[in-house]
Amino acid sequence: MLKKIQETADFLKKEISARPKTGIILGTGLGNLVTQMTEKREIPYDIIPHFPVSTVEGHSGKLIFGKLGDVDIMAMQGRFHYYEGYEMKEVTFPVRVMKALGIENLLVSNASGGMNPDFEIGDLMIITDHINVFPEHPLRGKNHNELGARFPDMSEAYSKDFILRAKDIAEKHSIKVVEGVYVGTSGPTFETPAEYNYFRIIGGDAVGMSTVPEVIVANHAGMRVFGMSIITDLGVPGKIVEVSHEEVQEIGNKAQPLMTLIMKELVAQL
């Protein structure tokens, strides 16, 4: 794995002269962030050595290097979901490569179903913490001390400093944000009412099918993390209705400008 990470990083270093410190995984709600980037250099996943290739509908796959405002960033358009069949090591490989390229801050977004009864559809949730209920752990197996500790601390998996900054930015622009714990599950099914209830009881505010593996690896690698989720449907008793991928995307798209604004201003401060 170490050799693969190095080979991929070396390939990208030859392609790109900038050395960004901030990486962004463009999940739901951040697709448009790319249109705000300048001096863009796009590298499709299928020409990057050792990179998995994205398969899911509505998620094209490429790395995009460029500037957001005055800041050099590296963006991943299209992530690798566990439910697609990738191994955990593949899902999180891009984060390893980011670290090898010098990325220190990782920003992520996603869509989720809200279990917190105070949430509304379309809310932006700042992720304060997560609960990992994926059936597999991305750090299982031999630990490479070069990459991180055998037993990584997770007491501040999401940077408190970044959370405070994001809340200030949201307040300044009168953008409503909520905060909560993200439960990461494998999918691809959405939850049964009993499962939403279970995830609420164990301490979750929202549930989705991504992010947790990448955030675990980012913490293992010593990166600082910020995450936001768009609440696209509700897993709250009495409010549970049929959910579809299309609806999730539609609600995600609507919230996009606000999430993009918060991320853009946060990047400028890092």
Among 24, 74, 223, 248, binds ligand HPA (CB under 6 A): 248
| C-alpha–C-alpha distance, residues 237 and 115, integer Å | 9
Closest approach of ligand HPA to the CB of residue 238, in Å: 15
Stretch near ligand HPA under the rule CB under 6 A, chosen from 9-17, 97-105, 165-173, 204-212: 204-212
Is position 232 an interface residue for ligand HPA (rule: CB under 6 A)?
Answer: yes
Closest approach of ligand HPA to the CB of residue 122, in Å: 12
Among 111, 225, 236, 266, binds ligand HPA (CB under 6 A): 111
Report residue 188 as tokens.
């691809």
Contact 103, 12 (CB under 8 A): no
Is position 127 an interface residue for ligand HPA (rule: CB under 6 A)?
Answer: no
Q: How many residues bind ligand HPA (CB under 6 A)?
A: 13
Closest approach of ligand HPA to the CB of residue 98, in Å: 24
Nearer to ligand HPA, 64 or 251 (CB): 251
Cβ burial, residue 79 (10 Å; 0-12/13-18/19+):
buried
